[in-house]
Amino acid sequence: MILGLARSWSLAGYAVAALLVLPLFALIFQALQPDEAVFGHLLATVLPTYIRNSLLLILGVSLGSLLLAIPCAWLIARCEFFGRRYLQWALLLPLAMPGYIVAYVYTDLLDYAGPVQRSLRSIFGWSSPQDYFFPDIRTLGGAICMLSLVLFPYIYLLARTAFMEQSLSLAHASRIMGCSPWQSFWRLSLPMARPALAVGVALVAMETAADFATVSYFAVPTLTTAVYDTWLGYGNLTAAAKLSAIILLVVFSLIGFERFARRKQQLFQKQSRIQATDLYPLTAVQTAVALSFCCTLLLFAFVLPFSILLSYAIGYFEQSWDERFWQLSVNSLSLALITSLICCLIALLLMFVRRSSPRPSDALPSRLASMGYALPGTVLAIGVLVPLTMLDFAINDVADVMGIKGPGLILTGSVVALIFAFCVRFVAIAIGSVENSYKRISPSLDMVSLTMGQSPRQLLWRVHFPLLAKGLFSGALLVFIESMKELPAALLLRPIGFENLATYVFQFVSDEKLEHGALAAVVIVLVGLVPLIYLNRSLEQHS
């Protein structure tokens, strides 16, 4: 009886995983279809430029994020100085800022008509652009800077944890052998933190490849913007799928190259918790330098853009606070709530199958389902459109055969496509959260429950669920925030006449009228700060 139930749960897990991985296989299938017209034209003209810009953007943002994150992570993890306790969580705040909003704010500040250049012309008496040189922010380099400012916390968080968990005996040995704190960092701590840094860089690379709004606003042609333009401009799904496949190839190649480079590297160390007495005390001058670096980074990455955004929201509050704003908020909240609920249910099912089944192969569904997180929003949208469009046509064809009126585009013409895309992309977050919670549940509880005659369903509901509640809530919260911020998939898959806060803000950003959408942008940022509060509590517990 138990074996039969286990098999039914396992089959359910495989079915859900197959559904979630379907867009990836549909995308590959569509990309293999012949298309000589649009894609051939792109290949002969602008595709090399798209690929070059995409690679330069990913590499530039990865390198920039590393240069910003590693010094902060080392200072916070291994040094003692004034303000360290507050900076350890404040440096996570830029994660709440969408890149395209930061890009608009700095463009408004630094453009020729912006306050910075106006002040320079007033001070030095310059009258035209020919009188002085000022770098153009709306370039590939500007996009790299903007994305580095908002993505470096991914690497900072992982690097900080890695530095804190490194063996103290090795650090003490390096100091006994005459190494300075800098030499100890360069020769010992940094190489040992490489696996964590690699994971952080992979996350940054995936987020950079997924970015559409920032590069679109800066008019930097990349593969992501090419997918958007090919689908909406040319209406060619096959060419868009081919471009999407190239994006996947770029992302997976970079990740695979890094793993190949460290394939023979092995690290064994005894982890220990850093105590206050183990931190390097900084001198007054060193403290000033550390504070200057961290505070300047925080200023430009979060404080300044959020302050300007807040001033816009206050100034245009009366124009923004209307019935449409409430409808947009309801749309965003509804999508995010439904997505987070479905993702948590899927994560609970897949991780329960993985834990309770004696077959190692039953770990496969959760791994397959997590692959969607690597899909950029534009790529995912194409992958979702292919199977849902085919299913819509099939439903209408069956209706015609039966002599009844077809229901129309009930999937691709509704929010069903959006919810499905969000679930495919963000279920990995919920799976990770539930997996971490499952690690704290002793297997002996399962044995006792089964011995007492509990069925797998009763075991899940009466034993596991109460113990997983906190992890489920955390996962739901993170999925909720990501769903509120997701833009590329929403732009491509939204039904006609449907908008949420993210698409609403981007519309004003594209028209260079962010002031009118600033209130919605502030809401997105404030909602994004919620999970950072949880991270802050976790960091304080380990400090």
- Single out the residue of 379, 377, 409 nearest to residue 393, CA to CA: 409
Burial bucket for residue 333 (CB in 10 Å: 0-12, 13-18, 19+): middle
Structure confidence at residue 1 as a pLDDT band (50, 70, 90): very low
pLDDT at 307 over 90: yes
Residue 447, token pair as written in the block: 């044995």
> What are the two backbone dihedrals, phi and then psi, of residue 378, each rounded to the nearest 5 degrees?
-65, -40
Residue 92, token pair as written in the block: 């996570």
Q: Over the stretch 180-234, which tens digit does the pLDDT of each residue have?
A: 666 677 667 777 778 778 878 888 888 888 888 899 889 899 988 888 888 777 7
Q: Are strands 280-281 and 79-80 parallel, antiparallel or unpaired?
A: parallel
Whether the pTM exceeds 0.85: the reply is: no
DSSP secondary structure string for all residues of 413-478: TSHHHHHHHHHHHHHHHHHHHHHHHHTTS-HHHHHHHHHTT--HHHIIIIIIHHHHHHHHHHHHHH
If phi > 0 it is left, if psi is from -120 to 50 it is alpha, else beta; for residue 72 that is alpha
- Single out the residue of 521, 530, 505, 500 nearest to residue 335, CA to CA: 500
- Single out the residue of 329, 299, 322 nearest to residue 522, CA to CA: 329
CA 169 to centroid of chain Cα atoms = 36
Please report the domains of the chain, with CATH numbers, ordered by start residue: 50-263+286-310 (1.10.3720.10)
Q: What pLDDT score does 259 carry?
A: 64
Can you list the positions of beta strands (E) in 71-111? 79-80
Q: Which SS3 state, helix, strand or coil, does residue 221 take?
A: coil
> What are the two backbone dihedrals, phi and then psi, of residue 33, each rounded to the nearest 5 degrees?
-75, 150
User: Is there a contact between 423 and 337 (Cβ–Cβ < 8 Å)?
Assistant: no
Residues shown for the chain: 543
Burial bucket for residue 375 (CB in 10 Å: 0-12, 13-18, 19+): buried
pLDDT at 65 over 70: yes
Average pLDDT of the chain?
Answer: 83
User: Is there a contact between 113 and 122 (Cβ–Cβ < 8 Å)?
Assistant: no
CA distances from 169 to 95, 159, 174, 185, 187 (A): 34, 19, 9, 14, 15
- Distance in angstroms (rounded) separating the CA atoms of residues 143 and 149: 10
Percent of the chain with pLDDT over 70: 88
pLDDT at 344 over 70: yes
Residue 42, token pair as written in the block: 């792109």
- Distance in angstroms (rounded) separating the CA atoms of residues 410 and 388: 9
Q: Over the stretch 99-134, which tens digit does the pLDDT of each residue have?
A: 888 998 999 898 888 888 889 888 888 888 888 888
Q: What angle do CA 346, 350, 351 make, to 5 degrees?
A: 115
If phi > 0 it is left, if psi is from -120 to 50 it is alpha, else beta; for residue 301 that is alpha
Count H helices and E strands in the chain, helices first. Answer: 27, 2
**Residue 80's beta-bridge partner residues?**
281
Structure confidence at residue 2 as a pLDDT band (50, 70, 90): very low
pLDDT at 472 over 50: yes
Q: Positive or negative, the Cα torsion across 386, 392, 395, 396? A: negative
User: Is there a contact between 202 and 208 (Cβ–Cβ < 8 Å)?
Assistant: no
**Residue 530's beta-bridge partner residues?**
none
Tell me, what DSSP letter sits at residue 280?
E
